[in-house]
Amino acid sequence: MIPIAKPYLTEDEAQAAYDTILTGWITQGPKVQEFEEKFAAYTGAKYAVAVSNCTTALHLAMIVAGIGPGDEVICPSMSYIATANAIRYVGAIPVFAEVQPNDYNLNVADAEKRITDKTKAILLVHQIGMPADIDTFKDLCDRYSLKLIEDAACAAGSAYKGAKIGSHSELVCFSFHPRKVISTGDGGMITTNREDYYNRLKLLRQHGMSVNDRVRHEASKVIFEDHVELGYNYRMTDIQAAVGIKQLEKLDWIVEERRKIAAAYNQAFKGIASIRLPEEKEGYFSNFQSYSIYLKGTAPVDRNTLMQHLLDKGIATRRGIMNTHREIAYKNYMPRVSLPVSEDLQENSIMLPLYVPMKAEDIVHVIDCFTHEILAAADTGKAMV
């Protein structure tokens, strides 16, 4: 079976975790600080704060941005449910806007239509690693005095207008889940250029503790901590951070290899008129966290049938990105919302295997089987006519 994805972890990461365990310092400590500093340097942000996962990163970003009960935050429904959930965690209301069919990212014109006097922020998702148009949304937020928060769960290693994702706005949240380009098993990171956000994020992730364990351990005098506000247990372990440091060293190479696979897919499928391939505009640089193909109305086979045929040939695929407003947890929470573009993309998109290292023969097998299924279905349709 060719899987849809798998993390690239080697003996380097295993040794790093092993060495860290033997130090006796296995929770938030020196390795976490090192990972934060190196991740900030990589993205070009002033600061980075490591947390337990991207969902907790989004939650803390909402808090420091001042989002609270009754506030509205515009975001795509076409995103993993954690995007909207983080808004609800602070008592705010997610307001779903449409996405663009070419890159699955938030449509700025539709987002603007949904701004009200209750709107406090826009949560911009870089969907499956393809950068969204950050500058256009920054301008929109400036005009309406809104906060811009980036959900960059899938975007480590991606870039926008020559700068890595993570350096463009005040709060950017990353994921290190195994489905992402680099992984720490689980884990997350928030980058920011604001010192006040940085200091408060560090407080909030560790129960609002004024002095963390590492500082007390390294101090030459007795220090007593205080708990200055309601906080959370959103810490990353040093074991995870040690793995993350090794992963970060390989990130650019991993992205380069992923882009080669995506390029092979693009080259092989570009002549098939009934599908739409990922669009990477000038100035946008995707890490290709996933490779998604859209089946047009002229496609000779429906998406679900195609997925089953590929599975029968040993190729795992996934459906298009979920629509949160169609999930039970949201159907029962909010009035029905109509998002025809998002719904169409969910129903008619298919994600193909893409991971590093992916064997050349497996790439060829995916290409051959996908092409065969599309063309065979087309020939069958012609024969029936």
Which of 187, 92, 95, 128 minimizes the C-alpha distance to 346?
Answer: 128
Contact 16, 184 (CB under 8 A): no
Q: What does DSSP assign to residue 106?
A: B
C-alpha angle 333-337-343 in degrees, rounded to nearest 5: 115
- Which residues on adjacent β-strands are paired with residue 122? 74, 148
Task: Provide the b/e sequence for 209-226 (b: ≥16 CB within 10 Å).
Answer: beebebeeeeeeeeeeee
Q: For the purposes of burial, counting CB atoms within 10 Å of the CB of 338, is it exposed (0-12), middle (13-18) or buried (19 or more)?
A: exposed
Task: With residue 172 as reference, give the H or E element that holds it.
Answer: strand 171-175
Contact 161, 295 (CB under 8 A): no
Question: Biggest alpha carbon distance in the chain?
Answer: 86
Residue 357, preceding peptide bond in cis (omega within 30° of 0): yes
Strand arrangement, sheet containing 284-285: 163-164, 159-160, 284-285
180: annotated active-site residue: yes
Residue 99, Ramachandran bin (φ over 0: left; ψ between -120 and 50: alpha; else beta): beta
Q: Which of 147, 164, 180, 250 is catalytic?
A: 180
Distance (Å, whole) CA 69 – CA 85? 14
Contact 197, 170 (CB under 8 A): yes
Which of 96, 166, 90, 160 minimizes the C-alpha distance to 131?
Answer: 160
Catalytic center residues:
180
